[in-house]
Amino acid sequence: MITESRPTVHSPQSEYQSRFDRFQAQAQQLSRQDNRLALWRFLSFAAGLAACWPALFTHSAPAWLPAPFAAVFVALWIVHERVGRNLERANRAVSHYQKALDRLQGRWAGKGNDGARFLDPRHPYAIDLDVYGRNSLFERICAVRTKMGEETLARWLSASAAPEAIRMRQEAVRELTANADLREELALLAETDLKAPLDQLAAWATSAPLPNLTRLRAIAAALTLAAIVTGIYFLAGGSLVPLLIVVGVEIAFSMPTLSSVRAVIKAVDRPARNLKTLSAVLSYVDRQSFQSPMLQSMQARVRTSGRGPAAQVDHLHDLMSYLSVTSNPFFALIAAVLMWTHHFGLAIEAWRQANGENLIAWLQIVGEFEALLSLSGYAYENPDDIYPEIETAQTAYRATGLSHPLLLAGVAVRNDLSLSDETQRLLILSGSNMSGKSTLMRAVGANAVLALCGAPVRATSLRISPMQIGASIRTQDSLEDGVSRFYAEIQRLQEIVTLSKDNKHPLLYLLDEIMHGTNSHDRLIGAEAVLRALSARGSLGMATTHDLALARIAADSALAAANVHLEDQIIDGKMSFDYQLRPGVVEKSNALELMRAVGLEV
């Protein structure tokens, strides 16, 4: 069993700043080189043009005079291209580490991949706990390059894993955390699309095979050979008729299969542009020596063929590159005679039939590895966060030094709390306005989400059981659906009660201002009924309230409940908050003071 422990102490701030400074200096130097080479290329081109006049028109200079200038131009072009690529990479690195520094300084919201496409109003906690969207857990953690990586990370954040899966992810994340070089290497790949559509390869890999592939390739090869022989015969002074006959046969052969070949090419064309990402990840997984069981298992799944998976993917990339030369108008006619599109389209289909099943596994591995890398990057940037202990002997959530993971560690106030099916199943949280009740509840939920997906948490210790999470914190009305805020809340409460009936998975519920949209009489009856139903099923949870009458139900020992509160203080005539959790029921309210503070005459 993995117990709480801290990673090796390091300073992500100093490491990132050092790398940022180094790449920024490189980018500045390369930019100067790029400008100089551009100037010299222009001058060599202009000099070559000037040399053409006496050499080719007035014949006052040797005919070879432009040649040295052309050679210099070509040499400069080659060097300039290499410098340009290095400059692009250095600029990507500067951007990468600027974003990393922004994350450490709390300036990351709205600048990353927020996973908004995964927002689902029906999910039991994603909206309430800021799992997706701007300033969300997903945006803070996500550093993936592909949609498979996005979907894997989203799947992990959307549901608790089994205890052993959580522990295996923890070990894998621990192993990858110190490897900042790997995260840099993958971040600086030439492709800049963070949503590379490699998931489309999965649909292509499992599509119906093209029939008679071997026979079609053999016939195409024979026809191309015949075209080459008859073409040489014509160029040597022979008749054009044999070549025309062969071309006619090629057309007759191609027409019935052309649509199928084009369908093969179209299906793989767009996702194949990002195969370098897939190849790079597979290559890394294949060549490393891993210690954690999850990474070792992924490596074993990669090594499914005699030829390395990265080499196989590179071969597919090469086939697509060769196919793309048909877009050159000078080569198009020759390509048609040589049946170029058919040959490479059929070769791509042969690759798919040979590697389709493996490709599905490789894509899944890429998604899992990218998700682990994202979690490892988050762990690296939060070295004081700890890995929780996964409790299976009982249902429990026991935390010390807990705070919200989306707040800067040096700013957030930490609190202790304990929930267990054997002792205390419910905390009724009362408190004055703006005292931090909702933030504390979200801190409990957000850390549960992190813990149950295998990530470190913002606490000094956390002991947690795998469980479902249900939250009613940010319930909204819907004009389109004709649903009031109160009706939307009671619908969500019914969904949470239904979740608690699943005997296979215990529930952690988080209810903010339960039933505050109705009168105090009905609110007390309804809220008490919901809390009693949840507690009776062994669920653990918190409920905030301003209605102190609800706090009285903690006196019933059958509920296994306790009252806790947050409060404000008046210091030098000003209202302040320390956000510290205290036992008991809050004894004062600040609503009137707040009304007066904003100018209301009360």
pLDDT higher than threshold 90 for residue 403: yes
Residue the block writes with tokens 């052993």: 164
Structure tokens at 115: 């996973």
Beta bridge partners of residue 570, listed in sequence order: 575
Mark 459-481 as b/e (b = at least 16 C-beta within 10 Å): bbbbbbbbbbbbbbbebeeeeee
pLDDT higher than threshold 60 for residue 196: no
- Give the Cα separation of 88 and 94 in Å (integer): 10
pLDDT higher than threshold 80 for residue 110: yes
Count Cα neighbours of 385 within 13 Å in the Cβ-side half-sphere: 28
Range of lowest pLDDT (152-161, 475-484, 523-532): 475-484
Exposed, middle or buried, 287 (CB in 10 Å: 0-12/13-18/19+)?
Answer: exposed
Q: What is the mean pLDDT of the chain?
A: 87
The answer to whether 465 touches 390, Cβ cutoff 8 Å, is yes
pLDDT level of residue 194 (50, 70, 90 thresholds): very low
pLDDT higher than threshold 70 for residue 599: no
Among residues 406, 364, 377, which one has the least CA distance to residue 155? Answer: 364
Predicted TM-score (pTM) of the model is 0.85
Percentage above 90 pLDDT, the chain:
53
Q: How many CB atoms lie within 10 A of CB 485?
A: 12
Structure tokens at 229: 């022989």
The answer to whether 217 touches 136, Cβ cutoff 8 Å, is no
pLDDT level of residue 20 (50, 70, 90 thresholds): very high
- Give the Cα separation of 533 and 539 in Å (integer): 9
For residue 112, the 8-state DSSP code is S
Average of per-residue pLDDT across 88-94: 94
What are 581-587's contacts with CB under 8 Å, separation 24+? 581/415, 581/416, 581/417, 581/429, 581/440, 585/430, 585/548, 585/551, 586/430, 586/431, 586/432, 586/435, 586/548
Structure tokens at 343: 């040959």
Cα 57-58-64 angle, rounded to 5 deg: 70
Phi/psi at 450 (5° precision) = -65, -45
Highest mean pLDDT among 16-25, 564-573, 587-596: 16-25
Structure tokens at 293: 């069981």
Residue 290's pLDDT is: 92
Residue 590's pLDDT is: 57
Crossing angle of helices 275-287 and 180-187, rounded to 10° = 160
pLDDT level of residue 70 (50, 70, 90 thresholds): confident
The answer to whether 493 touches 511, Cβ cutoff 8 Å, is yes
pLDDT higher than threshold 80 for residue 462: yes
Structure tokens at 100: 């990393």
Whole-Å CA distances, 498 to 131, 322, 340, 490, 493? 22, 57, 60, 12, 9
- Give the Cα separation of 47 and 71 in Å (integer): 12
Among residues 502, 370, 368, 454, which one has the least CA distance to residue 163? Answer: 454
* 354 contacts: CB under 8 Å, gap ≥ 6: none
- Give the Cα separation of 492 and 170 in Å (integer): 32
The answer to whether 113 touches 150, Cβ cutoff 8 Å, is yes
Percentage above 70 pLDDT, the chain:
91
- Give the Cα separation of 551 and 269 in Å (integer): 62
Tens digit of each residue's pLDDT (9 = 90 or more) over 224-267: 999 999 999 988 989 999 999 999 999 999 888 888 888 888 87
- Give the Cα separation of 132 and 112 in Å (integer): 11
pLDDT higher than threshold 90 for residue 477: no
Structure tokens at 482: 């004709």
Q: How many CB atoms lie within 10 A of CB 131?
A: 23
